[in-house]
Amino acid sequence: MDLKQLEYIVAIEKYGTMTEAAGQLFITPSALNQQLLKLEKELDIPLFTRNRRHMTPTEAGRVYLEAAKQMLALRQATYSHLQDLADCQTGSFEVGLTFEHSSDLFARIYPQFHKKYPGISIQCHQMLVPEMLDMLVSGQLDLAFILSGKPEIYNVEYIPLSEENLLLGIPRSHPLACKAQHPKDPCVTLDLSLLKEDSFATALKNSTMRTELIDPIFEQAGFHPRIMMESSFNAFLEQLTALGLCDTIIPQSRVTNRQDVVWFYLPGSPRFQFGAAYPKGYRLNRALSDFIDMARQDALKYLQFPPPSEAF
């Protein structure tokens, strides 16, 4: 079996169409189709049933795919083991990062990692969590650092690193700012329904922060917010609130402005996890395991916050 062909067949099953699979593999759909036809001719049996919208594995295809996935997993585990035997002197990894949390973390821990493993190269990719999850499942990423309210729903291996609160920020000029009992830190919960006439700046619509945490918060409050701005950059969302333009909801670790913005806990005390994810069945070698451990120590130092009931 050609390992490259195995990767192609697994991608076709995952993405369901030749066009989408080819895009993920960075080849043309016609080239991918030729590889499939070549393999089916060699085996003398069809591996997929085809229609305009979807490609579905045949019974023979399912048998081939099961073996293909096992062989690809065996290849990865073998290479990982060999790297350990060679003291991880060389190697390269593809790592996914969120735009702020894990990018900042990477900048803090990479010098330490590079000093310990100078022969290991890491290629970073900044993207939203749903994109990283797709790339983990398809084998395009070795590791990703993700934010989530429900990490257990993902079809990946997951290691929690830290947990923190989401905070509600309103301009200090807001009429409800007087409800804050402390000039610097959040210590009270504000009823979100009191802000239903306000404008908000929030995380991007398709981000896990938005879909798993922020949108449900508004649903529970009984209204759909007026969204004036969406962004992956919490500093920008905070800045808009500091200018008196809107309210915002951001992670506690991203709060920097305590002069122009008043911060509150949210009803239900929503919290999210920050963690490391990697493909199911993936064998972490010593270098990646150390990288995750460095991330854990950093996250506990910079990203760990107790829940509101224990904060004061």
Section 228-242 average pLDDT: 96
CA 37 – CA 25 distance, rounded (Å): 17
What is the average per-residue pLDDT within 179-191? 79
Predicted pLDDT at 84: 67
Residue 280 predicted with pLDDT over 90: no
pTM: 0.77
Tell me, yes or no, whether 264 and 187 share the same domain.
yes
What per-residue confidence (pLDDT) applies to 68?
Answer: 82
If pLDDT is split at 50, 70 and 90, which confidence band does 85 have?
low
183 has pLDDT over 80: no
| The predicted structure's pLDDT at residue 112 | 96
Tell whether 172 and 132 lie within a shared domain: no
Residue 31: Cβ within 10 Å count = 12
Q: Are both 246 and 174 inside the same structural domain?
A: yes
In this prediction, residues 142-169 reach a mean pLDDT of: 92
Domain containing 156: what range?
A: 88-161+273-311
Concatenated DSSP letters of 190-209: --GGGGTTSEEEES-TTSHI
- Tell me what pLDDT residue 312 has: 42
Mean pLDDT of 247-251: 97
- Asked if residue 204 and residue 131 are part of one domain, the reply reads no
Give the pLDDT confidence score for residue 283 in this predicted structure: 87
CA distance 207 to 164: 17
Calculate mean pLDDT across residues 260-265.
Answer: 95
Q: Which of 83, 105, 140 is the last residue of a domain?
A: 83
Domain count, the chain: 3
Mean pLDDT of 208-217: 94
User: How would you classify the pairing of strands 157-171 and 226-230?
Assistant: unpaired
Mean pLDDT across 30-35: 90
Domain match, 203 and 281 both: no
* Degrees, nearest 5: CA angle 262-266-272: 110
Please report the pLDDT score of residue 70 as a whole number. Answer: 76
**pLDDT reported for residue 174:** 96
Looking up residue 109, the CATH number of its domain turns out to be: 3.40.190.10
CATH code of residue 28: 1.10.10.10
